[in-house]
């Protein structure tokens, strides 16, 4: 289907030539000889031209006034103005209103064709961006936080309230995998800044040297290897939202610099001579207790109070297990569509096991379990063979390990470090062998010396 192009021109011959030329180029070209007629087409008949080619001065007024009305209503499309009497004030006003170009008559057909092609590319890019933003807005709504429990309803209610106000900063707390990132995306895509960028950064993912450059940017030559200018994430988020995940891991000196940026609404690149104005909404998240970190002087109190204008706590899944009834069908449908599967029935035994499990990895772990089971399914029944839930009695926090019989279950959701896992394994093995290093080493099929090194490393007690 051809794209629409509107020609607004009062000279009959020129208007007809333009309309015919654009039609030959594959456009659905519409001609209007007055501003009133063009306004009727745009506002009453809902014509949505990709490009508008308009004379500047028409018998019933200036086309700039019509462009101003179009922009006020948020209508899309690029505008190109043609005039034989245009001056500097008109050119400046046209550009301020977002006109794509301003050409003097007579204009060579080849020149006009190139400008229209450029305007069409720009309009199509803007349309794709609007469609993507619309899709994200439909995907990330407060209802995206699924669950019928009282705590889930409270979170949804708070998300709905926050999405309606232009808050400057927010702290989201909760364990790993509870949905803090989902909450941040909901707040951005349903809030006043939905048309702006959402920039996400994990403060635990990069070392201090790289994190400073990532956040604040740098000028060429600011440090070894800085060959060119780089816009930092704060600068990139201007006009939108910066989501700082795991902010409790941010170094103290960077916390101080971040506080200055939030307070002054200005950011200075590394090696830069001047500060740049930014307009950013900050959302911070942490699975650690920031109040405790403040008391231990491991997190700046002034930054914490500045960020916590509003607070939102996302509850762990074990405190709202009834929501598994709502979450499971959503995840099953997702992976059915992704892998062309047809799982539709969940046996009572599966529901029982899911309800009895402690979910140390929270909703993220549940989603991973559903993905595994659906992808490995061979029919319409949700298979329990691939649940791999470990000890069903595990109801404690994610850092707990559960021992049962001759096995030991450890969380693989990132909540337990490798050293913590190794220490837990050795501790359990020593306990089962009466704290005897020789017997424990033999069960591990390793040497006594290697085990003794780890016993000393972790400060464990033994009998020999």
Query: What confidence score (pLDDT) does residue 399 get?
Result: 44
Domain membership flag for residue 202: yes
User: Phi/psi at 300 (nearest 5 deg)?
Assistant: -65, 130
Mean pLDDT value of segment 319-337? 95
Higher pLDDT, 29 or 395: 29
Which strands, in side-by-side order, build the sheet including 28-32? 28-32, 4-8, 51-55, 78-83, 101-104
Asked if residue 341 has pLDDT above 60, the reply is yes
| Same-domain status, 155 and 296 | yes
Quick one: pLDDT band at residue 85, thresholds 50, 70, 90? low
The answer to the question of residue 96 being in a domain is: yes
Q: Is residue 409 part of a domain?
A: no
The DSSP bridge partners found for residue 55 are: 82
- For residue 213, tell me if it sits in a domain: yes
In the three-class reduction of DSSP (H, G, I as helix; E, B as strand; rest coil), residue 216 is classed as helix
Q: Mark whether 231 and 376 lie in a shared domain.
A: no
Note whether residue 187 is domain-resident.
Answer: yes
Number of domains in the chain: 4
What is the model's pLDDT at position 415? 62
User: pLDDT tens, 28-77?
Assistant: 999 999 999 999 999 998 899 999 999 988 989 999 999 999 988 888 89
Question: What are the Cα distances from residue 439, in Å, to 52, 420, 457?
Answer: 84, 22, 19
| Same domain assignment for residues 218 and 338 | no
Q: What is the pLDDT of residues 19-40, one digit of tens each?
A: 999 999 999 999 999 999 999 9
Helix (H, G, I), strand (E, B), or coil: what is residue 280? coil
**280 and 145 part of one domain:** yes
- Which domain-ending residue is among 107, 136, 165? 136
- In which residue are the tokens 């209610």 written? 157
95 and 228 belong to one structural domain: no
Q: Strand, coil or helix: what is 160? A: helix
Mean pLDDT of all residues belonging to the chain: 88
Tokens of 413: 């959701």
The last residue of a domain, from among 315, 339, 367: 315
Q: What is the pLDDT of residue 316?
A: 94
For residue 259, the domain's CATH number is: 3.40.50.300
φ/ψ (deg, to 5) at 462: -135, 170
Q: Any bridge partners for residue 80, and if so which?
A: 53, 101
Q: Judge if 158 and 116 occupy the same domain.
A: no
Among 221-235, 247-261, 400-414, the range of highest mean pLDDT: 247-261
Q: Which residues share a beta bridge with 363?
A: none
When pLDDT is cut at 50, 70 and 90, the band that residue 365 belongs to is very high
Q: What does the chain come to in residues? A: 464
Q: Do 209 and 232 belong together in one domain?
A: yes
Residues 6+ away with beta carbon under 8 Å from 383: 373, 376, 377
Of all residues in the chain, the percent with pLDDT exceeding 70 is 92
Least confident of 29-43, 190-204, 436-450: 436-450
The pLDDT value recorded for residue 88 is 67
The answer to whether position 383 is within a domain reads yes
Find the CATH number of the domain harbouring 39.
Answer: 3.40.50.2300
Residue 231: is its pLDDT beyond 70? yes
* pLDDT at residue 14 tops 60: yes
pLDDT band at 245 (very low <50, low <70, confident <90, very high): very high
DSSP classification of residue 396: S
The single-letter DSSP state of residue 286 is E
Indicate if 182 and 199 belong to the same structural domain.
Answer: yes
Regarding predicted confidence, which is higher, 51 or 429? 51
Sign of CA dihedral 65, 67, 109, 118: positive
- Residue 86 pLDDT more than 80? no
Mean pLDDT of all residues in 323-341 = 95
Task: Name, in order, each residue with C-beta under 8 angstroms of 301's C-beta and a sequence gap of 6 or more.
Answer: 294
264 and 190 both lie in a single domain: yes
Q: Answer yes or no: are the C-beta atoms of 261 and 282 closer than 8 Å.
A: no
Q: Is residue 339 part of a domain?
A: yes
Residue 443: CB partners within 8 Å, gap ≥ 6? 429, 433
**CA distance linking residue 438 with residue 452, whole number of Å:** 9
Q: For residue 381, what are the β-bridge partners?
A: 345
**pLDDT at 397 > cutoff 50:** no
- Among the three residues 289, 315, 341, which one is the final residue of a domain in this structure? 315
Domain identity same for 352 and 434: no
Ranges assigned E (strand) in 309-399? 310-313
Does 274 lie in the same domain as 163?
yes
Condensed to tens digits (0 to 9), the pLDDT of residues 96-119 reads: 888 898 888 888 889 999 999 999
Which CATH number goes with the domain that contains 377?
A: 1.10.8.60
Sorted by sequence, the CB contacts under 8 Å of residue 403 that are 6+ apart come out as 409, 428
Range of the domain at 106: 4-136
Mean pLDDT, rounded, for 217-231 = 82
pLDDT in tens, 118-140: 999 999 988 887 777 767 666 78
Q: Which of 82-91, 106-115, 118-127, 366-375 is least confident?
A: 82-91
- pLDDT at res. 394: 42
Looking up residue 437, the CATH number of its domain turns out to be: 1.10.10
pLDDT at 87: 63
Evaluate whether 314 touches 179 at the Cβ level (below 8 Å).
Answer: yes
Residues paired with residue 102 on neighbouring β-strands, in sequence order: 81
Both 146 and 227 in one domain: the answer is yes
Residue 51 Cα distances to 48, 329, 385, angstroms: 9, 45, 58
What does R_g of the chain's alpha carbons equal in angstroms? Answer: 31
Position 387 pLDDT exceeds 80: yes
* 411 found inside a domain: no
């Amino acid at each position: 289907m051809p794209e629409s192009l509107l020609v607004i021109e009062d000279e009959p011959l020129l208007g007809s030539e333009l309309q015919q030329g654009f039609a030959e180029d594959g456009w659905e070209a519409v001609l209007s000889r007055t501003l009133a007629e063009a306004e009727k087409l745009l506002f009453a008949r809902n014509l949505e031209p990709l490009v508008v080619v308009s004379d500047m001065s028409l018998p019933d007024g200036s086309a700039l006034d019509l462009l101003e009305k179009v922009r006020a209503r948020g209508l899309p499309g690029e505008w190109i103005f043609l005039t034989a009497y245009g001056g500097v004030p008109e050119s400046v006003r046209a550009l301020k209103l977002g006109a794509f170009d301003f050409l003097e008559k007579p204009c060579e057909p080849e020149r006009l064709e190139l400008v229209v092609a450029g305007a069409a590319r720009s309009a199509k890019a803007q349309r794709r961006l609007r469609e993507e933003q619309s899709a994200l807005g439909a995907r990330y709504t407060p209802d995206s936080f699924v669950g019928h429990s009282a705590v889930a309803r409270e979170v949804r209610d708070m998300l709905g309230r926050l999405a309606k106000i232009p808050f400057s900063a927010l702290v989201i707390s909760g364990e790993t995998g509870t949905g803090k990132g989902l909450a941040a995306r909901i707040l951005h895509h349903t809030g006043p800044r939905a048309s702006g960028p959402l920039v996400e950064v994990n403060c635990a993912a990069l070392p201090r040297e790289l994190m400073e450059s990532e956040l604040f940017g740098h000028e060429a030559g600011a440090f070894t290897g800085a060959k060119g200018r780089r816009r930092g994430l704060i600068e990139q988020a201007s006009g939108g939202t910066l989501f700082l995940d795991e902010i409790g891991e941010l170094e103290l000196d960077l916390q101080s610099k971040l506080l200055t940026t939030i307070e002054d609404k200005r950011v200075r690149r590394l090696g830069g001579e001047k500060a740049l104005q930014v307009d950013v909404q900050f959302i911070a998240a942490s699975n650690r207790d920031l109040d405790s970190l403040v008391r231990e002087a491991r997190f700046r109190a002034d930054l914490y109070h500045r960020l916590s204008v509003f607070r939102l706590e996302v509850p762990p899944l074990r405190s709202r297990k009834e929501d598994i009834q709502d979450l499971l069908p959503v995840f099953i449908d997702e992976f059915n569509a992704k892998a062309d599967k047809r799982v539709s029935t969940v046996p009572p035994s599966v529901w029982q096991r899911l309800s009895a499990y402690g979910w140390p990895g929270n909703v993220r772990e549940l989603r991973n379990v559903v993905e595994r089971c659906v992808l490995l399914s061979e029919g319409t029944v949700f298979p329990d063979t691939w649940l791999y839930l470990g000890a069903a009695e595990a109801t404690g926090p994610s850092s707990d390990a559960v021992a049962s019989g001759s096995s030991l279950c450890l969380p693989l959701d990132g909540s337990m470090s490798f050293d913590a896992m190794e220490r837990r394994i050795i501790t359990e093995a020593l306990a089962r062998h009466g704290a005897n290093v020789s017997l424990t080493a033999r069960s591990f099929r390793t040497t006594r010396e290697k085990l003794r090194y780890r016993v000393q490393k972790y400060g464990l007690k033994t009998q020999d």
